[in-house]
A and B are shown apart, each in its own frame.
Chain A
Amino acid sequence: MTLPLAQRGSTRLRAGSARRRVAIRGLTGTLLFVLILEAVPRLGLVNPAYLPPFSEIMVALGAQAATPAFWTLLGQTVFGWFTGLIIALVAGIALGMFIGSLKWVREATHSTIEFLRPIPSVALIPLAVILFGTDMRSTLLLVVYATFWQVLIQVLSGVQDVDPIARETARSYRFRPLTQLRSLVWPTALPYVMTGVRLGASVALILEITGELVIGSPGIGKQIVLSQTAGQVATMYAFVIVAGMLGVAVNLGTRLLERRVLRWHTSIRRDQEGSP
């Protein structure tokens, strides 16, 4: 279940020079891509009105970054993303621990969860607009809804993963239920929680941008639409790139966090793989 993590753990060991090679290759690829983006409109292969040369997009981005309004927009997007993520995390973890710990609650909620979970968050846009209009809260609703399920599902599997021997150990030493939750269930679920955080953070960003784009709540996403209708194509691309960079930053950040929190975890998996 936690295999991807384990693989990362073991590859990291023998990855020394291989990783540098991959990094160099990645950089070369990006450079090549940028060159193509620059060349294709200049050579007239694509109408520059739809796809301006990369340098123009960068100039537009630079011009945006010089305005305080840009940073306000970026702040709004990040704030919406973060608030939604935190709400979803708190709710997902609390509910997940509760539902997962009690067998009958788990069984009672199973079908409901399986019904609600696949509902695409964007299907809730009309509802969100009725409730909150084009306010930031509309988008927040989408973000929380989509992210919550990612987290909840992970926490539920995590709580289930408690080792029976560890549980019997805790019981035989007469750990109170709260101690069992804190010192056994929670640490066991933590790797799953971190996966939930990682997946949830990405999903939250997608929904944040989507919400801004479609509903028109303030942020980077809304600006993509506004630049498009104003015919500022290069600026539109600039905002798309900002959204992309946010995504990369979120991914890097959550991976770093995961690695930091789960140091013992990757290590123990590596250990178990090594022994017969």
Chain B
Amino acid sequence: MNTTRSEGDASLLEVQHVRKVYSSGGTEFEAIRDLDFRVSDGEFLCIVGPSGAGKTTLLRCIGGLLDVTSGSVSLAGARVTSPPEGMAIVFQEYGRSLFPWLTVRQNVELPLREKKVPATRRAELVSDALEAVGLAHVPDSYPWQLSGGMQQRVAIARAVAYQPRILLMDEPFAAVDAQTRAELEDLVFSLWKSLQVTVVFVTHDIDEAIYLGQRVLVLSNSPTSVLEDVPIPLPKARDQLRTRSLPEFNELRQKIHRLVQTAKRTMIT
């Protein structure tokens, strides 16, 4: 472990030769063959890959929700074997990840209670987080009374209020409409800039990955490995129209698109 840490900068998350084989009822399925990458402190990393590439599997391994078959995941130098402190996950299925019997406020507050944050500080964090995601007006609604985009905002607010060092997001906007999606992208991006949190963001939308990430990791088809690690040298200020119409943006889009196509083809042959 010392050798890996001495090599570099402040790398917060290290994924080392992770392999994950699902075995259920005698059959084995190799979802991840060999994933090896690191994420520096404060970085915004996007991961793209074809459907079924094992992106969710990878996030669950990083989050300590799933044991790796071999290799290791370390957060701040400590090996992850169960959900580590200072990590929050935003799931793709936001509706199912919120508790329907709790109000918006209670949903956001519950992890803080569990973290034993004092009541006054808790109230502050909750209202700040709801303010940040633009939901300050509905703290006493129930999640099922809100639209899909608003529900996902609640899930984001819950993660933000938790003040994690690292935020994992699994295709968080896959199920919302384009307009809401753009808004939520800008929301996440501005939260990342203001909170100095490290973000690992999984998506199958190449444009989204380029728009948000400082780096895009392109995964191959299952059994999965890293196909390419693409740096995104775009200016740090983002604007939905201007950023997306930059010539660099277009080049990156074509490059990654080709990579993903290659990934898909390698599966068929």
Interface residues of A (CB under 8 A from B): 163, 165-166, 168-169, 171-176, 179, 183-184, 187, 190, 264-265, 267-268, 271-272
Q: Is B28 an interface residue (CB 8 A)?
A: no
The 3 closest A-B CB pairs, nearest first, are A173-B111, A165-B96, A187-B101
Q: Which residues of chain B are near A172, meaning CB under 8 Å?
A: 63-65, 83, 87-89
Contacts of B111 in A (CB 8 A): 173-175
Nearest CB on B from A161, distance (A): 12
Contact residues in B for A268 (Cβ distance below 8 Å): 100, 142, 144
Q: Are A187 and B93 in contact (CB under 8 A)?
A: no
Interface residues of B (CB under 8 A from A): 60, 63-65, 82-83, 85, 87-89, 91, 93, 96-97, 99-102, 110-111, 114-115, 142, 144-145, 162
Among the interface residues A174, A187, A267, which one has the most CB atoms of the partner chain B within 10 A?
A: A174
Taking the closest CB of chain B, its distance from the CB of A136, in whole angstroms, is 38
Given contacts A173-B88, A174-B114, A183-B110, is CB(A166)–CB(B83) below 8 Å? no
Q: Tell me how far the C-beta of B233 lies from the nearest C-beta in chain A, rounded to whole angstroms.
A: 33
| Nearest Cβ on chain A to B153's Cβ, whole angstroms | 16
Min CB distance, A276 to chain B, in Å? 10
A176 to chain B, nearest CB (A): 7
- In the assembled complex, the Cα of A173 lies from the Cα of B110 at a distance in Å of 9
Contact of B99 among A171, A176, A187, A272 (CB under 8 A): A187
Closest CB of chain B to A223's CB: distance in Å?
44
Known: A165-B91, A166-B96. A267 touches B83 (CB 8 A): no
Query: 19 interchain pairs (CB within 8 A)?
Result: A165-B93, A165-B96, A168-B60, A168-B65, A168-B89, A172-B83, A172-B88, A173-B88, A173-B114, A174-B111, A175-B111, A183-B99, A184-B99, A187-B99, A264-B144, A265-B101, A267-B142, A268-B144, A272-B144
Q: Judge whether B89 and A163 touch: CB under 8 Å.
A: no
Q: Is there an interface contact between A174 and B85, defined as CB atoms closer than 8 Å?
A: yes
Q: Of A171, A179, A264, A267, which is within 8 A of B65 by CB? A: A171
Bound Cα distance from A265 to B96, whole angstroms: 13
CB distance from A75 to the nearest CB of B (A): 36
Chain B nearest Cβ from A150, distance in angstroms: 23
Which of chain A's residues have a CB closer than 8 A to the CB of B115? Answer: 174
Select the residue from B82, B87, B93 with max chain A CB neighbours within 10 A.
Answer: B93
| Minimal Cβ-Cβ distance residue in B for A264 | B101
Which of B63, B101, B115 has the most chain A CB within a 10 Å cutoff? B101
Task: Across the interface, name the chain B residue whose C-beta is closest to A262.
Answer: B101
Using A174-B114, A264-B101 as known contacts, say yes or no to A169 and B142 having CB atoms under 8 A apart.
Answer: no
- Write out the residue numbers on chain B whose beta carbons fall within 8 Å of the beta carbon of A179: 114
CB distance from A49 to the nearest CB of B (A): 58
Q: How far is the CB of B92 from chain A (nearest CB, A)?
A: 9
Closest to A174 in B: B83
CB distance from A83 to the nearest CB of B (A): 30
- A217, chain B: closest CB distance, angstroms: 40
Least Cβ–Cβ distance between A22 and chain B, in angstroms = 29
Contacts of B85 in A (CB 8 A): 174
CB-CB under 8 A from B114, the residues of chain A are: 173-176, 179
Contacts of B100 in A (CB 8 A): 264-265, 268
| Chain A residue contacts of B83, Cβ below 8 A | 171-174
